Amino acid sequence: MCGYIRRVTDCPEIQDLLEEIGLGELADRYQPTEQAIEHYYPAFGGDPERKIRGLIVPDEGSATPVDATWWYDCTPAGDTLRVGERTTFNARNLDSPYWRGALLHRRALVVATGLGETKEIDGVKQHFLIEGELPFLLGALYQHFDNGCYSCAVMTRDIHPRFAPYHDKAFPCFIPADKAFVDAWLYDIHTLPKPVVSYLEHPRIVVPLQVSPVKTFRSGETAKDPVYLPPDP
């Protein structure tokens, strides 16, 4: 389960990442803001303003960043969204009919520099802040409503053996920073391209990660040295 995402706004490597995947024209959307770090949380409590800023979605053969409520189960309500009761900030069981249409037609990307996971250890919930040495991409599914609003879910997969110490039920769906793969992910809609199918069956850690136990994700305060997770081959 992925229930927290962060983006360091003053991170020039984000532009490098976007250039690498052929989306350098979007870099202006990810310029530094007044916030040194942007913190994204799912729309618990029914708050449609809990959004992921700059979710990358396909748009008539190109890509565009949008702000999407982090909770897939939403319905339009005037010029905003009504958040549904079904817990849908993550999409894991992709064989489910609930996710099948979005997986075929509405795949998106999240640009992030870190995320948070929680695991119960000896009866106590421990939070882990997982930061990339480089920015990274996460797979997402989205909806676009008639009132112009968007909602989304961040994709997860079955547990990765080296990720299990920090979350033993799911693994964030990191997306490789490869232009051909990103093109297939965003633009080959109405189908599941073979590289996408293969990757979803065998997802990977795609950048070096540093894992730190923290009191809260937002503070990032830790009393221990981080654990280093190298990328998979």
Instruction: Check whether 211 has a pLDDT greater than 80.
Output: yes
Rounded Cα gap, residues 166 and 23, in angstroms: 32
pLDDT of residue 132: 97
* pLDDT classification of 33: cutoffs 50, 70, 90: confident
pLDDT of residue 124: 87
pLDDT of residue 121: 85
For residue 186, what is the DSSP state?
A: H
Q: What is the mean pLDDT of the chain?
A: 95
Report pLDDT digits (tens) over 77-126.
999 999 999 999 999 999 999 999 999 999 999 999 999 999 888 888 89
Instruction: Determine the longest span between alpha carbons in the chain, in angstroms.
Output: 50
Q: What is the mean pLDDT of residues 196-218?
A: 95
Q: What is the mean pLDDT of residues 22-44?
A: 94
User: What are the strands, taking DSSP E only, across the chain?
Assistant: 4-8, 37-40, 51-59, 62-70, 74-77, 80-83, 90-91, 107-121, 124-144, 150-157, 171-172, 174-175, 209-214, 227-229
pLDDT of residue 46: 97
Instruction: Check whether 130 has a pLDDT greater than 90.
Output: yes
- CA dist 219 → 27, 39, 40, 213, 222 (Å): 27, 10, 13, 11, 9
Instruction: Check whether 23 has a pLDDT greater than 90.
Output: yes
Q: What is the mean pLDDT of residues 167-196?
A: 94
Do 134 and 179 contact (CB within 8 A), yes or no? no
Please give the single-letter amino acid code of residue 108: A
- CA dist 13 → 20, 75, 139, 207, 228 (Å): 10, 36, 19, 13, 20
Rounded Cα gap, residues 161 and 11, in angstroms: 30
Tokens for 33, please give them: 């803001």
Instruction: Specify the DSSP element, H or E, that contains 182.
Output: helix 179-187
Domains of the chain by start residue, with CATH: 4-229 (3.90.1680.10)
pLDDT of residue 40: 97
- CA dist 150 → 46, 72, 82, 173, 218 (Å): 15, 9, 11, 20, 25
pLDDT: which is higher, 233 or 18: 18
Instruction: Check whether 1 has a pLDDT greater than 70.
Output: no
Please give the single-letter amino acid code of residue 224: K
